[in-house]
Structure 1
Amino acid sequence: MRMVEVQQVFKTFGARSTLVRALNNLSFKIERGEFVGIMGPSGAGKTTLLNIVSTIDKPTTGRVYLAGQEITQLSEAELTILRRDQIGFIFQDFNLLSALTVRENIIFPLTLTGIATAEIQKRLAHFSQQLELGDLLERYPDELSIGQKQRVSAARALMSKPKILFADEPTGSLDSKSATELLQYLATINLDDETTIMMVTHDAFTASYCNRILFIKDGAFYSEVVRSGSRQHFFNQIIDMQAAIGGGVRRDRTNRI
Structure 2
Amino acid sequence: MAFVEVKQVSKIYGHRASLVHALNQVSFTIDKGEFVGIMGPSGAGKTTLLNVMSTIDQPSSGQVLLNGENVSRLHDQQLAEFRRQQLGFIFQDFNLLDALTVRENLILPLSLDKTAYTVIQTRLQHIAQILGLEQLLDRYPNELSIGQKQRVACGRAIITAPELLFADEPTGSLDSKSATELLQYLSQLNDTDQTTIMMVTHDAFTASYCKRILFIKDGQIFAELIRQGDRKQFFNDIINMQATIGGGRIAR
TM superposition score normalised by structure 1: 0.96
Aligned residue runs from structure 1 range 138-149, under 5 A:
138-149=138-149
| Structure 2: runs of 5 or more not aligned | none
2:66 pairs with 1:66: yes
Query: Contact 1:23–1:49 (CA<8 Å) still a contact in 2?
Result: yes
Give the Cα separation in 1 of the matches to 2:71 and 2:150.
Answer: 28
Q: Which residue of structure 2 lines up, in the alignment, with residue 11 of structure 1?
A: 11
Query: Contact 1:3–1:196 (CA<8 Å) still a contact in 2?
Result: no
Measured after TM superposition, the shift of residue 85 of structure 1 is: 1.2
Query: Contact 1:164–1:198 (CA<8 Å) still a contact in 2?
Result: yes
Q: Which residue of structure 1 lines up, in the alignment, with residue 87 of structure 2?
A: 87
- Local SS of the residue matching 2:72: coil
Identity %: 65
Per-residue displacement from partner, 1:80-128 (whole Å, max 9, x unpaired)? 1111111000011001001100000000011122321011000000000
Query: Contact 1:208–1:235 (CA<8 Å) still a contact in 2?
Result: yes
- Local SS of the residue matching 1:90: strand
Query: Contact 1:3–1:163 (CA<8 Å) still a contact in 2?
Result: no
Give the Cα separation in 1 of the matches to 2:151 and 2:120.
Answer: 18
Letter in 2 for 1:88: G
Give the Cα separation in 2 of the matches to 1:12 and 1:68.
Answer: 25
- RMSD across aligned positions (CA): 1.1
Per-residue displacement from partner, 1:152-201 (whole Å, max 9, x unpaired)? 00000011100110000000000000000000000000000000000000
Letter in 2 for 1:239: I
Q: Which residue of structure 2 lines up, in the alignment, with residue 29 of structure 1?
A: 29
Measured after TM superposition, the shift of residue 4 of structure 1 is: 1.3
- Local SS of the residue matching 2:187: helix
- Local SS of the residue matching 1:43: coil
Per-residue displacement from partner, 1:61-95 (whole Å, max 9, x unpaired)? 00001122111111011111111111000011001
- Alignment size in residue pairs: 252
| Structure 1: runs of 5 or more not aligned | none
2:53 pairs with 1:53: yes
Give the Cα separation in 1 of the matches to 2:248 and 2:111.
Answer: 43
Q: Which residue of structure 1 lines up, in the alignment, with residue 232 of structure 2?
A: 232
TM superposition score normalised by structure 2: 0.98
Per-residue displacement from partner, 1:4-55 (whole Å, max 9, x unpaired)? 1100011011101221110001000000000000000010000000000011
Measured after TM superposition, the shift of residue 248 of structure 1 is: 4.2
Measured after TM superposition, the shift of residue 139 of structure 1 is: 0.6
Aligned residue runs from structure 1 range 57-206, under 5 A:
57-206=57-206
Per-residue displacement from partner, 1:201-228 (whole Å, max 9, x unpaired)? 0000000000000001000010000000
Query: Contact 1:207–1:213 (CA<8 Å) still a contact in 2?
Result: yes
Structure 1 5/53 Cα, relative in aligned 2: closer, same or farther at 3 Å?
A: same
Measured after TM superposition, the shift of residue 230 of structure 1 is: 0.8
